[in-house]
Amino acid sequence: MKYSKSSLAITLSKLNVFAHPKPRLEQYPTDSEIAADILWQAYMKGDIKGKTIADIGCGTGVLGIAALLLGAKQVTFIDKDNTALEVLRTNLKDLNIDEGFNILNLDVTEFNGKADIVLQNPPFGTRDEHIDRTFLKTAMLTAKIIYSFHKTTTTRFVESFSADNEFSITEQWTVRFPLKQTLSFHKKKIQRIEVTCFRLKKT
Ligand code: SAH
């Protein structure tokens, strides 16, 4: 195996991220340490190597790229923002990854593919109220095993929505997400919010 958890985190920390994040699309990349941690857990559970994976709302691609580095068979990257996908293309090129993926410039509602596994850190729904639900619904139509990040305060919703759709939560990891915020007086401040990655499995 080429990567350890820590070397994966280092490689991910070098990826390019959104140059001009669009607040309306809730564009913030998953922190590289957190991405490496979760992907490592997924890898150890046998959910990555040799699997087909959909990274929905992939942005600049940290989750799907981590999966490719850990031996995923095929990753489909989906995002509605082509500017983010351009950054993703650069990231793949920088890592000399030229096969085993496809990139779809689609809204989540337009995607209807299938995969073994969905990995997604979608918008949390702070701008567009039900977008987290839309992503979860799409993920459930795509795969039988899902890793999906949500604000920890919405855990009840994830539980009931999963039960209603015949999925159960098998694992959950709560992390503190750094959200970089620029204040009006140009001082950068890092705010943290509690986020949980849920592993959901079709029952
Ligand atoms: N998954 C990436 C990006 C997280 S930010 C990471 O972990 O780093 C959320 C992403 O969802 C952004 O790239 C944004 O462009 C995308 N997005 C927001 N609304 C969307 C929609 N309706 N359909 C598809 N992608 C969307």
Among 25, 55, 78, the mutation site with the greatest number of ligand 1 atoms within 8 A of its Cβ is 25
Task: For 4-61, write each residue's pLDDT tens digit.
Answer: 999 999 999 999 999 999 988 999 999 999 999 999 999 999 999 999 999 999 999 9
Which residues are registered as beta bridge partners of 40?
none
pTM as predicted: 0.95
Q: How far apart are CA 17 and CA 158, in angstroms?
A: 28
Residue 170 C-alpha to ligand 1 middle, in angstroms?
A: 24
Phi, psi for 197 (deg, rounded to 5): -95, 120
CA atoms within 13 A on the CB side of 202: 11
Mean pLDDT for the stretch of residues 182-201: 77
| Residues with C-beta less than 6 Å from any ligand 1 atom | 25-30, 57-60, 62-63, 79-81, 84, 107-108, 121-123, 131
Model pLDDT for residues 106-139, shown as the tens digit of each residue: 999 999 999 999 999 999 988 888 999 999 999 9
pLDDT at 181 exceeding the cut of 90:
no
- How many angstroms separate the alpha carbon of residue 123 from the centre of ligand 1? 6
- The pLDDT assigned to 191 comes to 76
Ligand 1, atom 3: closest residue by C-alpha: 59
Q: Is 70 exceeded by the pLDDT of residue 187? A: no
Look at residue 137 in the predicted model and tell me its pLDDT: 98
Give residue 197 CA to ligand 1 midpoint distance, Å. Answer: 16
Question: What is the percent of the chain where pLDDT is above 70?
Answer: 95
